[in-house]
Amino acid sequence: MRIVSTIVVLCGMVLIPIHLGAVESEVYYIAMEGSAPYYSPFIATIPSGVMVQWINQTATAHTVTHIGCLRENPCAFDSGSVAPGNSFALPSLEAGTYHYYCRLHPIMRGVVNVVEPRVKREGPSVSG
């Protein structure tokens, strides 16, 4: 497991560690934060088939809205309003690059790059 950062969230009186920017049990976590880069990590690269979960760690509501929802392009995802302390998850995305933003705070932007898992290739057999 690759951990980029660890943040502790205060939920009532219980401290819960959340590993952000990490693939853990086939879930990749992205934090919604109150300061730049706002979505952390700003650029997330994950293998296809992995769930992506955005966690709102701020005191205000946010959205996770695919940029295609603004245009006549296909809208890949739109979370609607995600309240403080809540999250939004996508079971998986097809390989590709997904730019997204917060409809409520358009300065908040991020990118998810979904890549096909590497296929381990075996070299040619050598006979002699």
For the chain, domain boundaries: 5-115
Task: Quote the CA–CA distance of 38 and 31 in Å, as a whole number.
Answer: 8
Task: Quote the CA–CA distance of 6 and 28 in Å, as a whole number.
Answer: 13
Instruction: Give the number of other CB atoms < 10 A from CB of residue 126.
Output: 5
Tell me the pTM: 0.73
| CA 89 from centroid of its chain's CA atoms | 8
pLDDT digits (tens, 9 = 90+) for 47-65: 999 999 999 999 999 999 9
Residue where the block lists tokens 């049990």 = 25
pLDDT digits (tens, 9 = 90+) for 90-113: 998 999 999 999 999 999 999 999
What CATH number has the domain spanning 5-115? 2.60.40.420
Paired tokens of 72: 């006549």
> Is residue 1 classed exposed, middle or buried when 0-12, 13-18 and 19+ CB atoms within 10 A define those classes?
exposed
Residues with Cβ within 8 Å of 78's Cβ and at least 6 positions away in sequence, in order, are: 63, 64, 65, 66, 69, 103
Sorting pLDDT into bands at 50, 70 and 90, what band is 9?
A: very low
